[in-house]
Structure formats: structure tokens, C-alpha cells
Structure 1
Amino acid sequence: MAKKIYNYKNLSELAIRLRDDLKTADFILLYAHNGTGKTRVSMEFKEQGKKNKQKQADTLYFNAFTEDLFSWDNDIINDKERVLKINSASKFFSGFQELELENRIRPFLNRYADFDFSIDYDKWQISFSRQVRVKTNVKGEVQEKTETVNSIKVSRGEENMFIWCVFLAICQLAIDGAEAYNWVKYFYIDDPISSLDDNNAIAVASDLSQLLLQAEGKIKVVVSSHHILFYNVVCNEIKKKPHEKYFLYKKADQSYSLRKTTDTPYFHHVALLSELNEATVSGNIKTYHFNILRSILEKTSSFFGFNDFGKCIYNVEDEVLFERALNLLSHGKHSIYEPVDMNDDNKELFKRILGAFLDKHQFELPELLKDSRAERMGYDR
């Protein structure tokens, strides 16, 4: 059965739709690839909350702007006292000092990291430390002991994980009904941790889901991500609760669409194939689309154990031609942020390669791709 597609002219209309859905659902899960506007949607959702009668915020959000609430002072002159500064003016930190956030952050952080921290509430700054094993030579005998190294500069990944754990601790306070966060009616979580490996993606998604399940009946939740493994884990964890799942897509005219997914999460490669298909139908094919197609073929060939991605293409006679074309046309530095039109010959070649690939691999695709697929691709079996 076809799944309804909802179209919206701008982010404001989209955010209103999400808030309407949360009147009956406890959770909304959005899947969208990078560059779609997930962060902008989260900020518009937050701004919509300020239009209530009280004109006060109602959304505790985590996105790229959350990380900007922290900044490093690396002690350039002495290179000793490196600290992470906190923007204390933000409502995000309204309960930091009196609610003993350190003791609430640490249990989360210990799951993912091996460093410790302390918060100076007078200066609103955080210092980090780590225990290390050092070797010493005592009268010719090598001995090991543990030392604490203070004022360390943690890596960017460790910093992001720490900020994420701060957010989790604040979420827990809001769920528990802490007065400092009684204004929170919604959590909006957008791509919580960037550059996660698969193991950490599963761990973060599972821990987040368990926390969010505690919010049921108290605080409504939106989670958006481009990380397919993270998204799938959250989907599976909350599948028995009232929720909505959507694929968020930004169209060529800068409008937006929400497509309801089935119980099976909307896999990343299918989302990308949908984008490529829409580009071929509209004729709005850009040079970077070759990079996307090459990536999909590479992953497919790896899955099947092929030596090269040319084996993923339907017509054996065209295999070498298509592979050479993709090798050549996907090597350019084609940016999705500065799209360039293909010439007509390359557009036709692109359609043939994509059509051949879809003919060989019968993905369980949306109805948009199924209907008259070969004809719309300009590819004759």
C-alpha cells in the first residue's frame, strides 16, 4: 500500500506538522541524509515553541548549536591550564550548579570515555583529567604506577561525547521533574554524535532509547539522524510505543516532503536511490550524483563480495563501459553544496547506468521508484 507523502513549502509549516503529530504520538523519528536541513528543522521547531501564550521556550534540543555553547581556552601563553568554557547565559544550564550536574554526568560519561572532569561554577569552566600508567626506574628495577594528568585537552570526539553526556544528564533531570527544567515539554535530538563507529552508534542509540522511554507520558520526543545504524536501533527500541517514522527530503524547489515509512526503517541506500531517481525524472542531474551512484555501487559490490562494482550492473556487455564511465566521472571533486549540471551525453549515460543497476537488484523500493521504472529511466531492457 502506498505511503502518504506530505509536502511543505517551508520549515515553519514542517515544524507545525511535527508538533501536531506529537499531540497523539510520543515519539517522531526522522531519517534524512546530510544537507537536507535537519538542524534547521530542529531550530524552527524550537522557535515554534516560543509562540505559545507564555512566549517561553518549551524545547530542550541537541544539535550543532548545542556544541557551540562550549568553547576552549587553551591557555596559549602558558600552555598549561586548558579549560572548556561554558556559556552560562543559556537556559540550557539553568540547573547546573544547584542540581549537582557532575554526579549526574559522570555515570553517562563512564560508559563511553576514560577521562574525568571537574566544573568550576565560579568561572563557568570545565577542566579534564586522565589517569595514565607510567614506568619508573627505581634502583635498576622498572616499576609502574598510576598518575593523574590534569588540564588535558581532550580530542574533538571526546569533547562531543562529553557534551552529549551533559545533555543526557539534563534530560534525566527534566524527566524526573526538576524544577529548573519544568519548562521542557519536548526533546528534539538531531544527529547526537558525529563520526560514530558502528559499536558506539549502537551503544549511544540504545542508551538514548532507554532514557527516552522514561519520558513517555511526560515529555514528547523528536529524533532525527542521517546515521542509518543509529536510526535503526532507535526504531527497534521504541517500536511498541506510539510513534511516527518519516523520511525527510528536500526537493529541488527548496520545499520539503515527509514520507511515512513502513515498520522497516527507511534504509540509507534506498533514500539515496530515491534522490537519484527523482533527479533523472526531473532532468535535474548534477555532477555530484555520479559520486552518490558510485558510492551505492561500491557498497553493493562489497556486500556481494564482487571484485569490482561493475558486476553490479545488469547488462554484461555494458559492464566495462559503465565501470570506466563511473570511475572517470566520480573522481572529480563534485560538491553537493556547489552543484553543477551534467552535459546531455553524461545525463543519458547516468540514466542508463542507474537503470541497469536497478534492473539487476530488485530493492524493495518506494512506489515512486517502482512505477514504470525502466521507462522513466530512459532504459530499455
Structure 2
Amino acid sequence: MNAPQTFASLDALARHLRERLDKKYVLLFAFNGTGKTRLSMAFKDMGKETVEDDEGNEVTTRDTLYFNAFTEDLFHWDNDRRVLRMHTDSRFFDGLQELEMESRIRPLLARYADIDFLIDYATSEITFFREKDADGAPIPIKVSRGEENIFVWCFFLAVAQLAVDGQESYRWVKYLYIDDPISSLDDNNAIAVASHLAQLLKKSDGQIRTVISTHHHLFFNVMGNELKPAQYFLSKEDGQFLLKNTGKTPRFHHIALLKELNAVVESGQIFTYHFNILRNILEKTATFHGFQHFSACIQQFSDDEDGILRERMIQLFSHGNYSLFEPQEMMPENKEYFRKILRDFMNNYRFNPELFPEPPQESVTP
């Protein structure tokens, strides 16, 4: 496999992706904290251009319709009125009142949630309901955060469909950039979201180029199988961004992750965010073997004090500042804990020994 390409900044990487989009689709896999969302914004900003209209006024043109964490900021929940407000100053909402958005969103939303809604374009408010009163008026309800997120996703899908169909208000769209649409969904819904998204994109016949980035292994695999896109693994090292072509073959990311963890253990360059990767593997393994919690993969019995300590360390180092901000190298004692957790896991759950060298023994016992 080719060596990864190196980029000094996200702007340089975004520029490369725009040049690379001679292909219909580009699919990126990257862990949280790598810069996926910032990359999507850099890509979007490169499509902005200030020009003069026919009357000599300066206007900003765009070419990218995007979905990322900032898309949810276009909506705001009002607890007092039990409505979801739209920030309609964004071009995302151009001309929606004439486009019968309810009828476009409703069949998409019905796939994931048992709720209905009405859009009041005059007040820019969305009311959710399940029942109506005796007069036929909807009885407003407060939806969960997950239901709100999936509604926003379905709203975006409906808008993306307008762009794919060449609707006049969205003919400016040359690129779709979709970053992590399924972060709050379980695996079954991840498959459904990936499949539905692939169906929509195939209808564009490549006229709209698309970049999709995700940290979700299953979503990545399904999109790869459905679209046959150019597939890459995005990582960050020493302040630079690495883009590695993963090829067209199915990706068994737990194997790739374990190989990476074995390599860092061997090198001694173990950072706090590696606990986040290890936890991801433990959670997937626990689910596969029918356990309720990843601790089952590191505790030998219920009062296993060492196992309880290791679980607490994984909980600590896979959350908060340790995993979300700039990587920090671990203290020597914590490195030894990491080595032991990984080594015991590899011993208890047998993997192909040809793929993995014998993990080095820890020098001291914590």
C-alpha cells in the first residue's frame, strides 16, 4: 500500500480533496479529535467567492452544501414554547417555504422516529407532536436530543435531495460534504443511514461531488461497499495531517487499530488518546461476545481489583481533555498499565499471530 501523503495544514488538505474530486465520492475515516469537522469547514470556505451582481452589489457565492456539528447550530430548541427554531438567515434554508419541505422530510423521518411535525415558516418554528386534540390541533411535545438530531439529519437529506434533483434554489451546489451524520445512532441505524444516503447520492449520477468523513467503522464499511469511493484514513502526527489510501478492499478496522496500538507500545510513544482507541476495541469485543460492558474484557471476576483499576483508567483517559485536545504523552506508570491491558486482552482473545508481534513485557508491575 502507498505511503500516506502529508499535509502541513487542513487548508492544504482541503485543497487536495477538491483536486481529488475527479472521482464521484471520497470517503474518509478518522478518529475524533483529528480535525474532521474543521476540515469540512475549510473545504466549504474554499468554495466561497465575493462577486458583483447585475446591480453592482457585492454578493458571496458558495459551492458546498455541508452537514457537520455546525449544521445542528442552525436549529435551536425553545423550552418555553416547545418548538425547534430555525436560524433562517443561513442559505441552507433558501426558498424552503415554496418547496413543501414537510412532505419531503416526513418519509425520511418515519424511518427512524415515531414523531410528526409541522413547520411554521412565518415564525421559523417547528412543532413536534404524536397526537392531536379534539379540534385537530397538534399537541406539542418535547423531543429527545437523539430525536432532534435525527430530525436535523433528515432535514439535511431533504435539502440534499433538492440539490441532487437540480432544484433552482440549490443549483449553486457543486459539492456535498457530510461529516459524521450518525454519531448518536446505534449500529442498526448506522447501517440504515448509510444505505439511505448511498441511495440518494447514486441518483446524482456524479454531477454533485461528495466527501464523507466519519469515525464510525460500520458506517465507513457500508458506505465503501455501497459507493465504491476513493477511501482514505486520515490521521495527525507531529502537527501534520496524514492521508493514507486504504484501497477498495473491505476494512477490518479493529485489526488496523490493534496493529497501531501494538506499534505504539513497541515504540514507547504512548499517548493518552490511545486509551480512547483501546476502549473502542474493547467495547466492540464486549458487544460481539454478548457482554453489557467493556469491563468484561479486562476483569477476570467481579471483585478483580486489578481489573477494576484498569477499567477506571480507561474511563478516565478516554474522556474529557485527555481525548479531545492536543495529544499528551503518558507518564511511565500509565504506559505500563496500558501495555498490560493490551497484552492481556490480546492473550485472552486470540488473533492471528502472523499479524501481531509478541507485545513487549512491561518493565515494572504497577
Q: Shorter-chain TM-score: what band?
A: 0.7 to 0.9
Q: Kindly state the Cα deviation for residue 261 of structure 1 after the two structures are TM-superposed.
A: 1.1
Do the aligned partners of residues 151 and 280 (structure 1) sit closer, same or farther apart at CA in structure 2, a change above 3 Å counting?
same
- Structure 1, unaligned stretches of length 5 or more? 76-80, 135-144, 312-318
User: What's 2:119 paired with?
Assistant: 119
**Cα gap change, 1:265 to 1:249, in 2 (>3 Å):** farther
Name the CA distance, whole Å, in 1 between partners of 2:16 and 2:308: 42
2:139 paired residue number: 150
- Report the 3-state secondary structure (helix = DSSP H, G, I; strand = E; otherwise coil) of the residue aligned with 1:49: coil
Q: Using the alignment, how far apart are the partners of 1:331 and 1:310 within structure 2?
A: 11
For residues 335-374 of structure 1, the aligned pairs below 5 Å read 335-337=322-324, 341-348=329-336, 350-351=338-339, 354=342, 360-362=350-352, 373-374=357-358
Partner of 1:11: 10
Task: State the shift of 1:225 in Å.
Answer: 1.2
Partner of 1:220: 209
Question: Does 2:242 match 1:244?
Answer: no
SS in 2 for 1:68: helix
In the TM superposition, what are the counterparts of 1:98-109 in structure 2 within 5 Å? Answer: 98-109=98-109
Residue aligned with 2:6, SS: strand
Residue 68 of structure 1 is matched in structure 2 by 73
Distance 2:166 2:329 in 1: 54
Residue aligning to 1:38: 36
Q: Is the 8 A contact 1:130 1:148 kept in 2?
A: no
Deviates more, 1:216-225 or 1:177-186: 216-225
Question: CA-atom RMSD, angstroms?
Answer: 3.3
Q: 2 CA distance for matches of 1:297 and 1:120? A: 46
8 Å CA contact 1:118, 1:128 repeated in 2: yes
One-letter amino acid of the counterpart of residue 218, structure 2: L
Secondary structure, aligned partner of 1:43: helix
Q: Distance in 2 between matches of 1:5 and 1:326?
A: 37
Amino acid of the structure 2 residue aligned with 1:11: L
State the distance in 2 between where 1:309 and 1:72 align: 40
AA aligned opposite 2:120: D
Report what 1:28 is aligned to.
26
In structure 2, which of residues 228, 250, 255 is the aligned counterpart of residue 270 of structure 1?
255
Taking structure 1 as the reference length, what is the TM-score of the superposition? 0.78
Name the counterpart of 1:59: 64
Mark the CA change 1:276 to 1:231 in structure 2 (over 3 Å): closer, same or farther.
same
2:123 pairs with 1:159:
no
Partner SS state of residue 98, structure 1:
helix
Tell whether the 8 Å contact from 1:49 to 1:59 is kept in structure 2 after alignment: yes
Which is greater in Rg?
1
| Partner amino acid, structure 1, of 2:235 | Y
Contact 1:290 1:330 (C-alpha < 8 Å) held by counterparts: no
Find the aligned partners of 1:364 and 1:183 in 2 and give their Cα distance: 52
Q: Distance in 1 between matches of 2:159 and 2:360?
A: 54
Letter in 1 for 2:16: R
Structure 2 CA distance for partners of 1:271 and 1:61, relative to 1, 3 Å: farther
Contact 1:15-1:45 within 8 A present in 2 as well: yes
Give the partner amino acid of 1:102.
E
- Check 1:126–1:228 CA distance in 2 against 1; reply closer, same or farther (3 A cut): same
State the distance in 2 between where 1:301 and 1:260 align: 30
Task: State how far apart, in whole Å, the 1-side matches of 2:254 and 2:13 are.
Answer: 24
3-state secondary structure, aligned to 2:61? coil
Greater displacement, 108-117 / 47-56 = 47-56
- Tell me the percent identity: 52
Q: Which amino acid aligns with 1:106?
A: R
1:170 aligned partner: 159
Moved more, 228-237 or 262-271: 262-271
Deviations 1:275-322 (A, max 9, x none): 4245335533235534643553564466468996369xxxxxxx99xx
Helix, strand or coil at the partner of 2:97:
coil
Q: Where in structure 2 are there 5+ consecutive unaligned residues? A: 53-59
Give SS of 1:331's match. Answer: helix
Q: Measure the CA separation in 2 of the matches of 1:363 and 1:246.
A: 26
Residues 354-374 of structure 1 show CA distances to partners (whole Å, capped at 9, x for unaligned) of 467668512896xxxx7xx45
CA contact (8 A) 2:310 2:341 kept: no
Aligned amino acid, residue 98 of structure 1: E
Query: Secondary structure of 2:70's match?
Result: helix
Question: Aligned equivalents of 1:227 and 1:204: distance in 2?
Answer: 12
Structure 1 CA distance for aligned equivalents of residues 232 and 276 of structure 2: 25
DSSP-derived class of the 1:163 partner: helix
Aligned residues: 341
CA distance in 2: counterparts of 1:270 and 1:250, whole angstroms: 19
Tell me how far 1:111 sits from its aligned partner.
Answer: 2.1
Task: Report the CA distance shift for 1:290/1:116 in structure 2 as closer, same or farther (over 3 A).
Answer: closer
Q: What is the distance in 2 between the residues matched to 1:14 and 1:265?
A: 24
TM-score, with structure 2 as normaliser:
0.81
Question: In the alignment, which residue of structure 1 is the partner of 2:86?
Answer: 86
CA distance in 1: counterparts of 2:41 and 2:235, whole angstroms = 17
Match of 1:259 among 215, 227, 244: 244
Shift of 1:213: 0.4
Q: Choose 324-333 or 123-132, whichever is displaced more.
A: 324-333
Q: 1:158 to 1:146 in 2, by over 3 A?
A: farther
Bigger drift between 118-127 and 342-351 goes to 342-351
Aligned match of 1:289: 274
Letter in structure 1 aligned against 2:236: K
In the alignment, the residues of structure 2 paired with residue 173 and residue 304 of structure 1 have an alpha-carbon distance, to the nearest angstrom, of 43
